[in-house]
């Protein structure tokens, strides 16, 4: 390793917050204890506050300093910082401007290669960050996707079967022009132009296994409808536009403030202190009627007729279920 690589690795170990003995650091870095001591002194000269304790239980620990020293990030750390700070804009905690300023501050003190890596990381968040069960996309995959998007290079990859599907099914070989990354409900998605199908596709990033095969340069394509995030959101809703394919309104006998926390992207309009109008959407009329049914309160359908018919169909189905033989269990 070069001196710079060695210092970066040493700093990465010290940043874990634990205390390291000199012999352990020497073993982890494959250097001598004397070199460890010299490298610790170099980091101190750069402004890092590294405290040392003597004795059998002693070692080195990185402490908080009084000034910001030069920041050393490896590739994974740079990607993690960029993702975390960019995602902070969707938390709704009033830290959006501070997160942007923090990212710019860190960017200014990064070496040029890492600065370019950080600049390549662009994505949009649909809904609230961290909302829903997390499906982890490997960091090296996100790093590869952001770089191909930034460089506008064709992506060759294997697309592994969805979890829970036939284990014997082989990964599908795909080639696409990657355009945009989107994070929704703690899942990552790649919007890309599929070269074999000649159409836009949305790929789950956790199922992508990028190839190292160099890709050809491609020209940027305009997002469907002019907005990649809106395109992904519409597909999740089973629609070609920004609205759900099925939208209805009911008058519900509950105060607006008790309904509002549970409606997602629905609209609540107070009628009086004890009732409100609730407008919501879903991918089917039966599904929408079931969503309205989550509120344990009297309600009247305002519009449309399709929603009224779905309420009637579900009522009949629930009535049949309630009067079914209690002991009629499957073998």
Q: What pLDDT digit, counting tens, does each position of 120-159 carry?
A: 778 887 765 545 445 567 888 888 898 899 999 999 999 9
Domain assignment present for residue 267? The answer is yes
Pairing of strands 172-184, 123-126: parallel
pLDDT tops 60 at residue 38: yes
Q: Does 223 share its domain with 158?
A: yes
Q: Per-residue pLDDT for 263 more than 90?
A: no
- pLDDT, one tens digit per residue, over 161-209 is 877 665 567 788 999 999 999 888 778 899 999 999 999 999 999 999 9
Report the chain's C-alpha Rg in angstroms.
Answer: 27
How far apart are alpha carbons 63 and 291 in whole angstroms? Answer: 52
Contact residues for 331 (Cβ-Cβ < 8 A; gap 6+): none
| Torsional class of 295: left (φ above 0), alpha (ψ -120 to 50), beta (otherwise) | beta
Residue 315 sits in which domain range? 246-323
For 15-20, which contacts have Cβ atoms below 8 Å and span 24 or more sequence positions?
15/62, 17/62, 18/61, 19/53, 19/58, 19/59, 19/60, 19/61, 20/59, 20/60, 20/61
CA torsion angle for 52, 56, 57, 63 (degrees, to 10)? Answer: 10
pLDDT band at residue 271 under the 50/70/90 scheme = very high
The answer on 300 and 277 residing in a single domain is yes
Complete edge-to-edge strand list for the sheet that includes strand 246-252: 267-272, 275-282, 246-252, 299-303
Do 155 and 225 sit in the same domain of this protein? Answer: yes
The Cα–Cα gap between 318 and 322 comes to 6
Nearest to 119 by CA among 127, 111, 129: 111
> How many domains, the chain?
4
Contact assessment for residue 291 and residue 281, using Cβ atoms and an 8 Å cutoff: no
The answer on 251 and 238 residing in a single domain is no
265: confidence class by pLDDT, cuts 50, 70, 90: confident
Beta-carbon contacts of residue 210 (< 8 Å; ≥ 6 apart): 141, 144, 145, 148, 155, 156, 157
- What is the distance between the alpha carbons of residues 305 and 311, in angstroms, rounded to a whole number? 10
Query: How far is Cα 75 from Cα 95, in angstroms, rounded to an integer?
Result: 25
pLDDT one-digit tens code per residue, 204-257: 999 999 998 888 999 999 988 788 887 887 777 666 555 778 889 999 999 999
Q: Is residue 329 one of the residues assigned to a domain?
A: no
Q: Are residues 218 and 152 in the same domain?
A: yes
User: Are 133 and 37 contained in the same domain?
Assistant: no
Q: Could you give the C-alpha distances from 114 to 6, 105, 121, 146, in angstroms and in order?
A: 17, 14, 11, 13
pLDDT at 169: 73
* Cα–Cα distance for residue pair 106/87, rounded to 1 Å: 16
Per cent of the chain over pLDDT 90 is: 33
pLDDT band for 114, please (50, 70, 90 cuts).
confident
Lowest mean pLDDT among 14-28, 91-105, 296-310: 91-105
Show the beta-strand stretches assigned E in 94-154.
123-126
What's the CATH code of the domain at 264?
A: 3.30.70.250
Give residue 62's pLDDT. 84
Query: What does the CA dihedral 253, 265, 92, 188 come to, rounded to 10 degrees?
Result: 140
Give the single-character DSSP code of 11: H
Q: For residues 71 and 331, which has the higher predicted lDDT (pLDDT)?
A: 71
The 8-class DSSP code of residue 168 comes to: T
**179 and 232 within one domain:** yes
Which pLDDT score, from 0 to 100, does residue 59 have?
Answer: 87
- Average pLDDT taken over every residue of the chain: 82
Residue 310: inside a domain: yes
Altogether, the residues listed in the chain come to a count of 331
């Amino acid at each position: 390793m070069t001196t710079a690589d060695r210092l970066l690795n040493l700093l990465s170990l010290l940043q874990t917050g634990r205390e390291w003995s000199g012999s352990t650091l020497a073993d982890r870095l494959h250097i001598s204890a004397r070199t460890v001591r010299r490298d610790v002194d170099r980091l101190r000269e750069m402004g890092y506050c590294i405290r040392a304790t003597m004795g059998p239980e002693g070692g080195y620990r990185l402490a908080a300093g009084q000034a910001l020293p030069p920041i050393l990030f490896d590739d994974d750390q740079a990607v993690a910082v960029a993702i975390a700070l960019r995602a902070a804009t969707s938390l709704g905690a009033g830290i959006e401007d501070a997160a942007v300023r923090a990212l710019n501050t860190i960017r200014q003190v990064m070496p040029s290669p890492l600065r370019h890596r950080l600049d390549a990381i662009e994505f949009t968040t649909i809904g609230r960050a961290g909302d829903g069960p997390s499906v982890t996309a490997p960091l090296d995959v996100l790093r590869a996707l952001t770089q191909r998007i930034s460089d506008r290079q064709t992506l060759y990859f294997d697309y592994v079967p969805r979890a829970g599907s036939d284990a014997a099914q082989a990964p599908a070989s795909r080639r696409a022009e990657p355009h945009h990354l989107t994070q929704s409900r703690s899942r990552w998605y790649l919007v890309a132009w599929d070269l074999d199908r000649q159409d836009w596709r949305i790929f789950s990033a956790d199922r992508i296994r990028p190839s190292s095969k160099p890709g050809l340069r491609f020209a940027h394509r305009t997002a469907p409808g002019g907005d990649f995030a809106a395109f992904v959101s519409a597909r999740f809703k089973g629609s070609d536009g920004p609205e759900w394919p099925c939208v209805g309104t009911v008058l519900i006998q509950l105060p607006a403030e008790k309904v509002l926390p549970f409606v997602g992207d629905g609209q609540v309009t107070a009628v009086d202190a004890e009732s409100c109008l609730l407008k919501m959407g879903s991918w089917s009329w039966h599904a929408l009627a079931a969503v309205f049914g989550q509120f344990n309160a009297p309600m009247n359908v305002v519009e449309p007729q399709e929603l009224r018919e779905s309420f009637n169909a579900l009522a009949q189905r629930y009535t049949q279920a309630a009067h079914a033989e209690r002991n009629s269990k499957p073998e």
